[in-house]
Amino acid sequence: QQQVKQSPQSLIVQKGGISIINCAYENTAFDYFPWYQQFPGKGPALLIAIRPDVSEKKEGRFTISFNKSAKQFSLHIMDSQPGDSATYFCAASKGAGKSTFGDGTTLTVKP
Amino acid sequence: NAGVTQTPKFQVLKTGQSMTLQCAQDMNHNSMYWYRQDPGMGLRLIYYSASEGTTDKGEVPNGYNVSRLNKREFSLRLESAAPSQTSVYFCASSESNGKETQYFGPGTRLLVL
């Protein structure tokens, strides 16, 4: 049973455009929702994270929007740049439990 | 700080051979994890260790064993490698179990022929 569903699987955006990646979760006990960025040949690294007591968190060009009632959260990348081309993973965890990851989205930003 | 280090970076095995993947972290983290990453399937948890001296199975533990040697080191062993275990393996650590940010190593690329 996949507890975190991520879409789309791949995304192509023009430079300067907005990239949007969505995740949906099933377990209402999840209380921590990070996004990880992974470049080819590297390990994933934390990009931005949110807890369910807020509906939005912004760090530079990256924003997480969180909808607790719909059990959905999304990553928005404003003014997308070729250097943002990477694979993005959403994740969810609860208390002392383990993190569950989405299947990843490969983002390509065309110059 | 080196963060999370993994050895080797790349390995080729024949079916039936055994090997141990090494992982170490220098951030004094309590929890450590082993994942495998296959194309289109994201990160799947193999085993994790919530604290020194404890280990638990993750989503895909079959064919693997782990040892939490001390707080810094967490190794993954393949006793009899199979082609289905061809993958990229990532070790990660976090300050506590699950809730905090996970810090990943650079990965070990394993090919089983």
Mean pLDDT of chain A: 93
Burial of A38 (0-12, 13-18, 19+ CB in 10 A): buried
Share of chain B above pLDDT 70, in %: 97
Give the tokens for residue A101.
């990851």
CB contact under 8 A, B33 and A98: yes
What is the interface size between A and B, counted as CB pairs within 8 Å? 65
Q: What is the pLDDT of residue A98?
A: 74
Q: Mean pLDDT throughout A76-91?
A: 97
The stretch A39-52 carries a mean pLDDT of 93
How do B108-112 and B10-13 pair as beta strands? parallel
Collect all residues of chain A within an 8 Å Cβ-Cβ radius of residue B104.
36, 43-45
In 10 A of CB A30, how many CB atoms? 22
* pLDDT of B104 above 90: yes
* pLDDT reported for residue A2: 61
For B74-97, the DSSP string reads EEEEESS--GGG-EEEEEEEESSS
Average pLDDT over residues B93-105: 80
Pairing of strands A45-50, B87-94: unpaired
CA distances for B14 relative to B19, B57, B83, B108, angstroms: 11, 25, 8, 16
For residues B112 and B15, the answer to whether their CB atoms sit within 8 Å is: yes
pLDDT tens digits along B30-65: 999 999 999 877 899 999 998 888 999 998 999 999
- Residues of chain B with C-beta less than 8 angstroms from the C-beta of A96: 50, 96-99
Tell me what the pLDDT averaged over chain B comes to. Answer: 92
* Beta carbons within 8 Å of A41's beta carbon, 6+ residues apart: B106, B107
CB contact at 8 A, A35 and A88: yes
* % of chain A exceeding 90 in pLDDT: 80
Nearest to B81 by CA among B12, B16, B11: B16
Shortest CA distance from B10: residue in chain A: A41
Alpha-carbon distance of A33 to A49, in angstroms, equals 6
Helix (H) or strand (E) holding A11: strand A10-14
